[in-house]
Amino acid sequence: MTPRGVPAVVGIATTKLRHNRTRTILAVIGVTLAVLATILLVGTGIGVVETGQQQFDRADRDLWITGGPVQFAPTQPGGVRNSVYNAHELSAEMRARDDVRTASPLLFQTVYVSNDGESFETLAAMGVRGAGGVSVSAGRGFVNSKHYAGGTYDGPRTHELLIDQRTATLLDVDIGDTVYIGGTLAGARETQYTVVGVSDTGNQFLGAPTVTVPLSELQSLTGKTATDPATLLTLTTPDGISAETVESRLQESYPEYDVRTNREQLQATIERQAVVIAGGVSLILLAIVAGLALTLNILLTMVYQQLPEYAALKALGTSATFITGTAVSQALVIGSIGTAVGTGLAFPFAAGLNALSLRLTGFEGVVRLSPRVLAIGALTALVMTLVSAVITGWRISRLDPSTVLES
Task: Identify the residue with better confidence: 225 or 306.
Answer: 225
Residue 171 has pLDDT above 80, yes or no: yes
Greatest mean pLDDT range, 177-181, 245-249, 333-337: 177-181
Q: What angle do CA 266, 267, 273 make, to 5 degrees?
A: 95
Of 93-97, 278-282, 306-310, 365-369, the range with the lowest mean pLDDT is: 278-282
> How far apart are the C-alpha atoms of 129 and 135, rounded to whole Å?
13
The backbone torsions φ and ψ at residue 198, rounded to the nearest 5 degrees and listed phi first, read: -115, 125
**Does 197 score more than 70 pLDDT?**
yes
**Mean pLDDT across the stretch 233-247?**
87
Give, for 121, the enclosing helix (H) or strand (E).
strand 121-128
The better pLDDT of the pair 349, 302 is held by: 349
Cβ burial, residue 19 (10 Å; 0-12/13-18/19+): exposed
Residue 236: band (very low, low, confident or very high) from pLDDT cuts 50, 70, 90: confident
Integer Cα distance of 338 and 293 in angstroms: 15
pLDDT computed for residue 132 by the predictor: 62
Region 235-262 average pLDDT: 88
* Residues in a beta bridge with 107: 127
State the pairing for strand pair 121-128/210-214.
parallel
- Average pLDDT over all residues of the chain: 79
Closest CA to 294 of 302, 283, 347, 371: 302
> Model-level pTM greater than 0.85?
no
* Euclidean distance between CA atoms 124 and 105, whole angstroms: 16
Higher pLDDT, 238 or 45: 238
Q: What is the reported pLDDT for 34? A: 78
Can you give the pLDDT at residue 120?
A: 94
Report d(CA 128, CA 112) in Å as an integer: 18
Phi-psi region of 207 (alpha: psi -120 to 50; beta: other; left: phi over 0): left
pLDDT at 2: 47
Does position 75 have pLDDT exceeding 60, yes or no? no
- Predicted confidence at residue 283, as pLDDT, reads 64
Judged against a pLDDT cut of 50, whether residue 343 lies above it is answered with yes
Across residues 128-136, what is the average pLDDT? 78
Nearest one of 49, 46, 47, 36 to 349, comparing CA atoms? 36
pLDDT at 118 over 60: yes
